Amino acid sequence: MWPVLQALGNESPLSLADLYSTVATAVGLDEAELREIIPSGQPRYKNRIGWAAVYLNKARAIDRPRRGTYAIADRGRQLLNEGEPVTETRLSEYPEYREFMEKSKQGAERRVTVPGSDETSGGASPQEAIASAAKELRSVLEADLLEKLLALDPYAFERLVLKVLGAMGYGKDGSLESTSKSGDGGIDGIISQDPLGLDRIYLQAKRFAGSPVGSKDVQAFMGVLSMSHGDRGVFITTSTFTESARQAAEKSRSRIELIDGQQLVSLMLNHEVGVQPESVTTIYKIDDDFFEDL
């Protein structure tokens, strides 16, 4: 918030676009930092500058003389003259800002601190805080999912793997078939990509609790593929693959994809297999065009 005040103190009014470039230059952002984006797709620096302007406006430190334009107010010049970092504690001394924050916190269990405040880690904006919380929740869910997979019996795990691949679109025009009970030479499943079964992908699914899958396992799968005249295979495990196993897959004449436990649970979440949405939050913003057309 301090660089935003400084920029407007030097030149007012400024359009939001000019504010972005002026502040980015003033704080010395490099090309990599300018290209950083948040999950919504917006550049991170623009998101933080935009929110800083919102908070300063709510504290009456800056004004909005017209749409998308900001200018410093007397209160903002007072803050600049103090020469101290602009924190949430300082803005909370203004009744307008306190009223805004109280309204923002109504119904919320946890308050998101403002960019640049003394309580904020790294100056995260509300969108970044939401994305960070969602990422943390996903990590916990992925760990729980992996535990669920390890508790399955081998046949149930193979059926689950086929469901995941089916949710990804494999076998849509053909079929997905579990073969392990029929003892089909170590192949646990066959995906037919066409009705006649001419285009096939062979599957091996290993529910390993601890030890990683080594090169011997991958080479054995390569041998089975060769015997089955297959040129494409997917090896899925709840564990991990050793580096030698990955190298063996890369050197294979057949196209072999290796999917470890972390990748598997990520695919399950991405394609909503074994999970269901608990809540959805829609984030809104003011439609200035609507109000201008009234």
The confidence band for 72, taking pLDDT boundaries of 50, 70 and 90, is very high
- Model confidence at 232: pLDDT above 80: yes
- Model confidence at 132: pLDDT above 60: yes
pTM of the complete model beyond 0.75 = no
* Residues paired with 70 in a beta bridge: 14
The pLDDT of residue 30: 92
* Four-way CATH pick for 2-124: 3.40.50, 3.90.320, 1.20.950, 1.10.10: 1.10.10
* Chain position carrying tokens 């919504």: 40
The pLDDT of residue 241: 93
Compute the radius of gyration of the chain from its Cα atoms: 28
Identify which has the larger pLDDT, 204 or 40: 204
> pLDDT by residue (tens digit) across 143-201?
888 888 888 888 889 889 999 998 988 887 777 777 765 455 568 888 887 777 667 88
CA 8 to chain centre: 34
The mean pLDDT of the chain is: 82
Strands lying side by side in the sheet with 69-72: 14-15, 69-72, 62-66
The confidence band for 81, taking pLDDT boundaries of 50, 70 and 90, is very high
CATH fold for the domain made of 148-270: Trna Endonuclease; Chain: A, domain 1 (3.40.1350)
Domain chopping of the chain, boundaries = 2-124, 148-270
Name the 3-class secondary structure at 190. strand
The pLDDT of residue 103: 65
Q: For residue 155, give the nearest of 225, 205, 190, 224 by alpha carbon.
A: 205
The pLDDT of residue 58: 85
Rounded-to-integer distance, Cα 189 and Cα 176, Å: 7
